[in-house]
Amino acid sequence: MMNKRELELYIHIPFCARKCAYCDFLSFAVPESTYRDYMDKLIEEIYGQSLCFPDSCVISIFLGGGTPSLLPADLIGELFAVLYGCFTIAEDAEITIEANPGTLTMEKLEVYRESGINRLSLGLQSADDMELKMLGRIHTFDDFLKSYQRARQVGFDNISVDLMSALPGQDLHSWKNTLRKVMMLKPEHISAYSLIIEEGTPFYERYGRDGEPLEEEGVFSQRDGCQAKSILPGNDRERYRELPPLPDEETDRRIYHMTRELLASQGYERYEISNYARPGMECRHNIGYWTGVDYLGLGLGSSSYIGGYRYHNETGLKKYLSLDLREAGAAAREIQELSLEEKMEEFMFLGLRMMQGVSGNEFLGRFGRNMWKLYDKAFRKLQDQGLIEIEAPWVRLTGRGIDVSNRVFSEFLLD
């Protein structure tokens, strides 16, 4: 085990009961009969891909989606039996499943535990039922409470709760109410993200790119620059037009700072821009992403980063189900070898998301380059602006730097 290369697994379950109004992830509703077909193909891919990693040790597994908890319990049990048969999995591996409170049962939770899943990520988003309804979520806060209590009853002692702020009509009071209700439950981890309006979603039709309705009725701009008719039927379009406006930038910023202060008062340490945990309960899988650990994506549309190469799986369900995945990499598309410059840029972008920052010593060991010389101009500029602090060998964002993190990251692009 000690000589094996560390590897993370991400497994994508693209199915959901209903698409949320803000979601642009690869997810959709299908007949339940499709679940079996997908699992058969996913298992085929696991067998094929595992042949390439005989000398790797899996340190974390993350089932994301979509809504993995939508699948019947027996399919999840079958999936993990195959994973343990195909990969070397560390005894202390962190194994997470994302779950929607509207889909969890005691039977599913018990099977998760029996299958080796030791971390549950519950997608609450808000403790306000009206806000949940506006988002298009299928659960209520009471559903969440029941799911949380059941998870504790079956022995889950590592639960993360996902929250979303800057929602339509949200103010400081309603967000504070959500935080307080969640903190009372004492989950081990809390993710708190601001709503992002993504193209191709119902929320984009309502709010546009800058929070304002689009000028041309029922038309939105696709990412490729093309124009397309509304994705919404007439009745739904009228319903979304009635949603309240988004919070202004000042309210959004105050929500952001209040989140940090309230969670800190209850013992949650901020270890990444949008993630908080009790000491020792940080999400190891996500830390692997941010620190450059190799990860293998399995399933429709999943992404992988292996040995300096990045690639994405086939995104069409019909095409994915038709592929012969017994050969390793058969689902891979858009294979890209990262240049040294791109690897160094990503090291800075991702590492600076974490509160500990980036280490010049690690940079030198990984790339054979002197970080201080390479980014001397950027460091001096950002330090003068109060956006980073330097405590050799570490560089990290200041509070002001976190507020404008995307602008900070752009300074580390190499020509």
* Closest among 167, 222, 213 to 22, alpha carbons compared: 167
Taking only Cα atoms into account, the Rg of the chain, rounded to an integer number of angstroms, comes to 22
pLDDT at 220: 36
* Residue 57 phi, psi (nearest 5): -120, 120
pLDDT at 210: 59
Domain boundary among 234, 263, 291: 291
pLDDT at 181: 98
Taking a C-beta distance cutoff of 8 angstroms, is the pair 39, 320 a contact?
Answer: no
Sites in the chain below the pLDDT cut of 70:
1-2, 209-240
Question: What distance lies between CA 413 and its chain's CA centroid?
Answer: 24
Categorise residue 218: left if φ over 0, alpha if ψ from -120 to 50, beta otherwise.
Answer: left
Are residues 259 and 188 part of one domain? yes
Taking a C-beta distance cutoff of 8 angstroms, is the pair 42, 14 a contact?
Answer: no
Is residue 325 one of the residues assigned to a domain? no
Within a 10 A sphere around the Cβ of 274, how many other Cβ atoms?
Answer: 17
Is residue 315 one of the residues assigned to a domain? no
Are residues 346 and 283 part of one domain? no
**Domain ranges, residue 152:** 5-195+246-291
Taking a C-beta distance cutoff of 8 angstroms, is the pair 338, 394 a contact?
Answer: no
Taking a C-beta distance cutoff of 8 angstroms, is the pair 22, 195 a contact?
Answer: yes
**Which tokens belong to 182?**
């969640």
Are residues 262 and 410 part of one domain? no
Are residues 286 and 356 part of one domain? no
pLDDT at 217: 44
Are residues 175 and 40 part of one domain? yes
Is residue 239 one of the residues assigned to a domain? no
Are residues 118 and 22 part of one domain? yes
Facing residues of 60 across strands? Answer: 8, 94
pLDDT at 367: 97
pLDDT at 24: 87
DSSP SS3 for 369: coil
Is residue 139 one of the residues assigned to a domain? yes
Is residue 229 one of the residues assigned to a domain? no
Taking a C-beta distance cutoff of 8 angstroms, is the pair 382, 395 a contact?
Answer: no
Are residues 374 and 279 part of one domain? no
Domain boundary among 291, 314, 349: 291
Are residues 98 and 35 part of one domain? yes
pLDDT at 200: 86
pLDDT at 112: 98
Is residue 303 one of the residues assigned to a domain? no
pLDDT at 226: 36
Count of structural domains within the chain: 2
Facing residues of 123 across strands? Answer: 162
Domain boundary among 291, 322, 356: 291
Are residues 399 and 277 part of one domain? no
Is residue 313 one of the residues assigned to a domain? no
Are residues 351 and 283 part of one domain? no
In terms of C-beta density within 10 A (0-12 exposed, 13-18 middle, 19 or more buried), how is residue 409 classed? Answer: middle
| 3-state SS string for 192-244 | EEECCCCCCCHHHHHHCCCCCCCCCCCEEECCCCCEEECCCCHHHHHHHHCCC
CATH number of the domain within which 389 lies: 1.10.10.920
Are residues 257 and 403 part of one domain? no
pLDDT at 213: 55
CATH number of the domain within which 85 lies: 3.80.30.20
Are residues 346 and 254 part of one domain? no
B/e letters for 195-228, b = 16+ CB within 10 Å, e = fewer, are: bebeeebbbbbbbbeebeebeeeeebbeeeeeee
Order of strands across the sheet that contains 309-313: 269-272, 275-277, 189-194, 159-165, 119-125, 88-99, 56-65, 5-13, 295-298, 303-306, 309-313, 332-337
Is residue 314 one of the residues assigned to a domain? no
pLDDT at 205: 86
Report d(CA 169, CA 163) in Å as an integer.
16
E strands, 202-355, in order: 219-221, 227-229, 269-272, 275-277, 295-298, 303-306, 309-313, 332-337
pLDDT at 78: 98
pLDDT at 229: 44
